[in-house]
Every structure is written in structure tokens, then in C-alpha cells.
Amino acid sequence: MKDARAALRYAKAILNLAKDSNLETVVNDDMLLIADTVSKNDDFEVMLRSPIVKSEDKIKVLNGLFDGKVNNITLGLFHLLQDNKRIALLEAIAKQYAIIYDFDKHTQEAKVTTAVPLTKEVEKEVLAKIVDLTGEKANLVNEVNPNILGGFILRVGDVQYDASISNYLSELKKEFDNSHYIPKI
């Protein structure tokens, strides 16, 4: 809990610094890259959290991995975290930054679960429909789950719309189970 609050404080400070330089979108892209990189590489995450690995070595890895790919504000964050012995918070800070950036830009996250990946055309249609329904822009996250058989499940904020075939079949089964109709023979 203490780390979550610290990550949020760092994220807010970085967002304010980025706003002063009109680079909040660039830094947001950096934070998304960092969060994605850490989440996809378990060894990298372990290295960042390890008390055994020296912070100088962690900075060398971070600079080697992200130098030339991220903004100077983001590189400065690495060194600030090293000075404060908080490098382990990097992923949490990156995720918090993305959340408060989206909130600041009135953008929400929409999650659509489908049996197969969405095409670009369908993705554009879904995003347009979300704007029509909510009045706000959204970042679309497509999760593929073959168990839904077909259709989709859309979740925006705390609202969920389930138009999956598996849900339809489940509802149909409930109707049959609850039916007390016995045909006469």
C-alpha cells in the first residue's frame, strides 16, 4: 500500500514536469513502453526488484535498454529513482502515470474480449461507438478468449455488455432449466 502511494506521487510529479515542457504525451508513450517491457519480461522485473543487484547496475541496464527510445524526462526519472533507492517502483510508476494521463485527457480504457483478434476496421467502429455511448475517447484493449465462441464482451469503466455466444448459450440453458413445462405424450 505504501509503495502504491509512492508510485502515484512520483507519477503525478513526472506528469507535472512533462506538462511544463508540453511533453506529457511523449512521456506517456515512454511509460507505456516501460510498463509493457517490464510486464513481458519476468527476469527484467526480478532484476529491478532485487536487493542483491546494485542500483548502478540497474541504471546501466535501464539506460542500455531505453536510451534513445525514451525522453530525457523519463531518463531523469531513472536516476531520481536510483538516488531515492526506489527503482523497484518503476513499473508501478509507469502504470500510474498512464492512468492519471488518461484521466487528465478524458480518455478511458475500454476492454473488448473476442474469440479472434479484432481487425483495424472493426476496432475503429468499436471506438466510434464507445465515443457515441459515453461521450469520451477510449483506449481499446483487445483480449482474445476462444472460450466465448463468438461475439464480444465490452467493458468500459464499470459497465459491461456481454454479447458473446457463450453468454447466449448460458442464458438459453437457464431458460430450459427453469422451464417446468412437461410435454404431454
| 133 and 174 both lie in a single domain | yes
| pTM for the whole structure | 0.66
Residue 184 lies in a domain: no
Strand 137-144 with 107-114, pairing: parallel
Q: What is the CATH number of the domain that holds 34?
A: 1.10.520.20
Instruction: Write phi, then psi, for 155 (nearest 5 degrees).
Output: -125, 120
pLDDT single digits (tens) 119-130: 888 888 888 888
Residue 183 lies in a domain: no
| 56 and 131 both lie in a single domain | no
Torsion sign over Cα 87, 41, 144, 122 = positive
| 170 and 120 both lie in a single domain | yes
| 148 and 96 both lie in a single domain | no
Domain coverage including residue 80: 2-103
pLDDT single digits (tens) 93-145: 999 998 898 888 877 778 888 888 988 888 888 888 888 877 778 888 888 99
| 23 and 78 both lie in a single domain | yes
Number of domains in the chain: 2
